[in-house]
Amino acid sequence: MGFGAYRFRMWPFAQKWIGHPMPQGWDFFFSQKRPCWVVFHLRSGEMLGGYYGPKSHAAQYPHPPDVYVEAAWRLDEHGRFVEAVPRTSGMIVKASDCTRIEFYEEAPENAQPTGTSG
């Protein structure tokens, strides 16, 4: 019954009247479990890069949004992926530390999802 109610709420016609079942865009995006490349724009002005794949995780409502990316990447000053951070096991980034977060479906030219360059 719960699954049926959820499916009903996912129907665009129902959303017009009762709203979307995901409370935040964060939850909606990460519930799709799509692998992607991520650029985190931190409040400090620094940019971090990472790969969000099958071994990654994002916290969902009601928990504060944070994301674990399974591979950390160095970015250049223009936000382009340069190289995988050596010997990394990924990183955790709090959404509250960011001014924005960008997601890319296509891998950068020199990037591989395993976190190894080249």
Q: What is the pLDDT of residue 58?
A: 93
* pLDDT confidence of residue 117: 42
Q: What SS3 state is found at 41?
A: strand
| pLDDT average per 10 residues of sequence, the chain (118 residues) | 56 53 73 92 96 93 90 92 92 97 82 52
**Boundaries of domain holding 95:** 23-104
Q: Number of structural domains, the chain?
A: 1
The pTM score is 0.74
Does residue 14 fall inside a structural domain?
no
Which residues touch 33 (CB under 8 Å, ≥6 apart)?
54
CATH (domain of 68): 2.30.30.100
Mention every residue, 6+ apart, whose C-beta is less than 8 A from residue 72: 48, 49, 50, 84, 85, 88, 90, 91, 115
